[in-house]
A and B are shown apart, each in its own frame.
Chain A
Amino acid sequence: MAQIKTYVRPMAGWWRKNPFFVRYMIRESSSVFLAIYTLILLVGLLRLTQGEAAYEAWRSALTNPVSILFHWLALLTVGYHAYTWWMVSPKTAPNIRIGGREIPEMLIAAGGLLGTVGASVLVYVIVRWM
């Protein structure tokens, strides 16, 4: 094919141009909060191996208002991440058929969401009362 002059439009700022992409970027970046939260938890585990004083110091550091603010923020973003993750889960699920019919997409998403809420409640009950 003969070389034809074309104009290639720049991609800069692509995700700000459509609310769908903004939500996608929030979904993806919320994992940063999850990663930081996991690191804090791992540090706690490390401090636990270093004896009681070290562990208590880590615990008292968590009561810092900055830490509390971060944890609320992390809970919120991870909650959003979990919600969006289950909402796209039907796209990633293998093709499962029951009685020749595909499982409705909403059933997969709802099942995942219910499972997440159930597991969270279970963990809370165990930590709080057991």
Chain B
Amino acid sequence: MADTRTIEIEVLRYNPEKDAEPHYQTFQVPFSHDTSVLQGLQYIKDYLDGSLTFRWSCRMAICGSCGQMVNGIPQLSCHVFLRDYYPGKVRVDPLNHFPVLRDLAIDQSDFFENKLPSVKPYIVPKDAKPVSAGTHLQTPEQFQKYYQYSQCINCLLCYAACPQYGLKPEFTGPAALALLHRYNADSRDRGWDERADVLNAEEGVWGCTLVGYCSEVCPKHVDPARAINQNKVNSTMDYFGVRKLLMPKGGD
């Protein structure tokens, strides 16, 4: 399509070797009807300034790499289109609440090295079964209990949406707690006790004040706010010993 217009894209620039603090740089970017914000950034990198740094991979809202603040809202930049901002301008910032490594690239290590492993995001079975014993069976009803929470792509938009995480970085946070729930809610899993310390902690579900913005911005409709807040009930039951009373054998 010959539909080529030009939009102004303002990008946060930060070079740790030269800059004391970040500044904005503006680029004029030609776009057509189907140009995503990510493609706008790629145009800048290819034709205007090759030093612009940002993460991306799949271009189709699956990999979760290209999260940015687009006009102040956490978005997958491949998932929003320049046409929707025209004739206004687009301001792209790195995801909020994370340290900036360079330009739009954030330091994700707090999530991938601390928060995510802490919730044991894998099935902790009652007895380790050899492969020869066959698969773990599950009914569609049991599957439905966690399916929604298993859709997380670790894009970190929910952390950028969570002021509690920004104010108190020790908060385990939306995605990790939603994944904690995803495995606790799985009928094949018996890891409740192993995850209980993380869940019950002040920095666990109780660090959430139900702002609820995490669920608004989640591109996969995981609804972390729901996962966290229904576990405040579970955490309370655990505290008073009601959980053990209801499930003496951990769900068997």
Q: Which residues of A contact B (CB under 8 A)?
A: 1, 4-9, 11, 14-15, 17-18, 20-21, 24, 28, 88, 90-95, 100
**CB < 8 Å A-B pair total:** 70
A92 touches B210 (CB 8 A): yes
**How far, in whole Å, are A88 and B210 apart by their CA atoms in the complex?**
8
B3 proximal to A (CB < 8 A): no
Please give 10 more A-B residue pairs, beta carbons under 8 A apart, in addition to A5-B16, A18-B73, A91-B229: A5-B17, A6-B16, A7-B99, A9-B22, A11-B167, A14-B163, A18-B213, A20-B213, A92-B210, A95-B230
B121 proximal to A (CB < 8 A): no
B77 proximal to A (CB < 8 A): no
A6 touches B99 (CB 8 A): yes
Q: In the complex, which residues of chain B have a beta carbon less than 8 angstroms from the beta carbon of A15?
A: 163
A21 touches B212 (CB 8 A): no
> What residue of chain B has the Cβ atom nearest to residue A101's Cβ?
B144
Grouping DSSP codes into helix (H, G, I), strand (E, B) and loop, the A interface class, with mixed when no group exceeds half, is loop
Partner of A4, one of B73, B97, B107, B213: B107
B221 proximal to A (CB < 8 A): no
Partner of B16, one of A1, A4, A9, A24: A4
Partner of A7, one of B17, B22, B73: B22
**In the complex, how many angstroms separate the beta carbon of B177 from the nearest chain A beta carbon?**
13
Partner of A100, one of B96, B107, B141, B232: B141
